[in-house]
Amino acid sequence: MSTIQGMPNLGPGLRLHLNENTAGCSPRVLDAIHRVSADDVATYPDYEAAVRETAAHLGIDPDWVVLTNGLDEGLLLTAIGYLTPRAPESLVALGATPVASNGQTEQIVVLPTFEPYLINAKALGARTVAIPSDADFAFPLQKVLAAITPNTRLILINTPHNPSGRPVAESDIRAVIAAAPHAIVFIDEAYHDFQGVHYLRFTREFENVIVGRTFSKAYGLAGIRIGVVIAPPALLEPLRYVMPLFNLNSVAVAALRASIADPGFMTWYVGQARESKALLYEALTRSGLPHWPSETNFVLVNFGDRLAEMVTGLRAKGVHVRDRSKEHGCAGCVRITVGPVEHTRTAIAALEELCAKR
Ligand SMILES: Cc1ncc(COP(=O)(O)O)c(C=O)c1O
């Protein structure tokens, strides 16, 4: 069979496998898309207003913002900008050696991790130092600190963490930043809206921090592809240098502006995710299924030796969940997206029926 672009299509059903917003998006986003004109379609996009509004929304200056085609692109641009053998000037100014000593740059990630972190580095010939998380997905601070070398160019910290849902402590993030002044610490905040904690201020407090955001999750724009990379202008230069000039299309620009103008939708969805998590925790506890408290819109659940049967059973009932069992610390585990309470109740009913069958 030939390989088709993108993720495999699981067919119809409740999509609880990709941490998407299953409530959709703000109706204002759809209105804005309907208002996109023939001129908007026929001309290259203008980003000025969208960048200014995004910056105002984040409370920072517009030149501290790069809009990307999903945070995926932001991560790729960061890898290209910082993992090539010759260090960008912005990093040399912070103490990085201009050329990696053995020609191989390094990045540090904590396992389990978001797969593109690994693929990006591999494609660039950089070495990934992958540190297994401690018990219950605790951030392995001492091991991360011990892994820092003069060749370390990038340290990726995802908080709250996918797939465990666990946040990284502020003190741990600070310790990593302080221990690697010659490297970029990229804080991936894809799920920060659900925790209500974020580290944007670290981009001002420190010289080596980049923060990544996405509109795919809480804002429900995964299909439109919008990410934001935030850092001091000098740190963004290597990304701007390689990024496609028109990386977001005009429809995405319209959607982003409308989405920012309607924070109520996001707040409502975050509330639904919170209620859903409480319901799901209760149901999982009733069924004796181990799980981890989550600060995101998903929950990691351990089905143990029933993994395959549960994943297939749920799929047969029209509920798609994500098998993460092959990753460090995740044997027997799936990740279940939690959004609108109504969807969570459907998932719980399917799950309880399967558990009752045993
Ligand atoms: C930790 C993490 N970072 C980045 C992304 C990428 O998000 P986007 O849809 O904006 O590319 C995801 C998406 O699932 C994610 O889980």
pLDDT tens profile 164-206 = 999 999 999 999 999 999 999 999 999 999 999 999 999 999 9
State in Å: Cα 135 to ligand 1 middle: 24
Minimum-distance ligand 1 atom for the alpha carbon of 162: 1
Minimum-distance ligand 1 atom for the alpha carbon of 71: 10
Minimum-distance ligand 1 atom for the alpha carbon of 18: 14
Q: What is the mean pLDDT of residues 289-296?
A: 98
State in Å: Cα 287 to ligand 1 middle: 30
Structure tokens at 194: 């659900």
pLDDT digits (tens, 9 = 90+) for 296-353: 999 999 999 999 999 999 999 999 999 999 999 999 999 999 999 999 999 999 999 9
pLDDT over threshold 70, residue 208: yes
Shortest-distance Cα residue to atom 15 of ligand 1: 190
pLDDT band at 146 (very low <50, low <70, confident <90, very high): very high
pLDDT digits (tens, 9 = 90+) for 249-281: 999 999 999 999 999 999 999 999 999 999 999
State in Å: Cα 254 to ligand 1 middle: 21
Structure tokens at 339: 């959004």
Minimum-distance ligand 1 atom for the alpha carbon of 214: 10
Tell me if 222 CB under 6 Å of ligand 1.
yes
Minimum-distance ligand 1 atom for the alpha carbon of 114: 1
The reply to whether omega before 167 is within 30° of 0 (cis) is: no
User: What is the residue extent of each domain of the chain?
Assistant: 14-23+264-356, 27-260
pLDDT over threshold 60, residue 214: yes
Residue 55's pLDDT is 98
pLDDT digits (tens, 9 = 90+) for 241-251: 999 999 999 99
Contact 299, 291 (CB under 8 A): yes
- Amino acid at the residue 144: V
Residue 324's pLDDT is 96
State in Å: Cα 70 to ligand 1 middle: 7
pLDDT digits (tens, 9 = 90+) for 23-78: 999 999 999 999 999 999 999 999 999 999 999 999 999 999 999 999 999 999 99
State in Å: Cα 187 to ligand 1 middle: 12
Tell me if 71 CB under 6 Å of ligand 1.
yes
Residue range 27-260, CATH number: 3.40.640.10
Architecture of domain 14-23+264-356: Alpha-Beta Complex (3.90)
State in Å: Cα 72 to ligand 1 middle: 6
Rounded to two decimals, the pTM is 0.97
b/e per residue 208-238 (b: at least 16 CB within 10 A): bbbbbbbbbbbbbbbebbbbbbbbbeebbeb
Q: What is the mean pLDDT of residues 225-251?
A: 98
Residue 1's pLDDT is 57
Shortest-distance Cα residue to atom 16 of ligand 1: 162
H helices present in the chain, as ranges: 27-34, 38-42, 48-58, 70-83, 89-92, 115-123, 141-147, 170-179, 192-195, 202-205, 233-242, 250-260, 263-286, 307-316, 341-356
Q: What is the mean pLDDT of residues 73-101?
A: 95
pLDDT band at 101 (very low <50, low <70, confident <90, very high): confident
Residue 18: phi and psi, rounded to 5, are -125, 15
SS3 206: coil
Residue among 68, 109, 162 to mutate when testing ligand 1 (max atoms within 8 A of CB): 162
